[in-house]
Amino acid sequence: CLFTLSPRLEDLRVKLENEGLVNVSYIIVNHQGSYSQRKFHLLQESVSEYITVYQQDEQQDDVWTKLNGNKDDFLIYDRCGRLVYHLGLPYSFLSFDYVEESIKTAYCEKKCGNCSYTEPDTDVVCENITKQADEKLAEIEPKPAGQHSHHHNLHRNRHHH
């Protein structure tokens, strides 16, 4: 339900902004159905002005159909407008880290080289994100009893769904 999703998305937006991920655009696409249309104002009121809520017209082609997605999906684009991740249920539940990690990856990866849309502090922000992720992995990495671990390069798995 988008009404329960909206505050969590707002919390995630604030968290990521506090970590230095700035100029990230968030858009909620409201369902086309008449029930969703009637509840549009409640959806809009459940998020800040920093999250756009797009209301589809009942007569237009469904946005989700055009994007090969469903209403509960997250589509994450990089700053060049390329689709990086398409997360469907259950990966789109904000109680898991998939959405957050996907946004961070899309923000930090430089697949197209230097970009005019990159913020001046992006490299520092992304280094901190990578360092924090590596520290988390190091905490949970199993270490054989009585042996020194020689595995120093931890790699995060990125799932494309």
- In tens, the pLDDT along 105-155 reads 898 887 665 666 556 666 777 887 776 665 554 666 555 555 444 433 333
Query: Is residue 150 situated within a structural domain?
Result: no
Query: Is residue 38 situated within a structural domain?
Result: yes
| pTM as predicted | 0.71
Query: Is residue 145 situated within a structural domain?
Result: no
Closest CA to 6 of 56, 57, 40: 40
Query: Is residue 53 situated within a structural domain?
Result: yes
**Phi, psi (deg, nearest 5) at residue 39:** -95, 5
Query: Is residue 141 situated within a structural domain?
Result: no
Query: Is residue 18 situated within a structural domain?
Result: yes
Query: Is residue 20 situated within a structural domain?
Result: yes
- State how far the Cα of 106 lies from the Cα of 158, in Å rounded to an integer: 11
- What residue numbers bound the domain in which 51 lies? 5-124
Our count of domains for the chain comes to 1
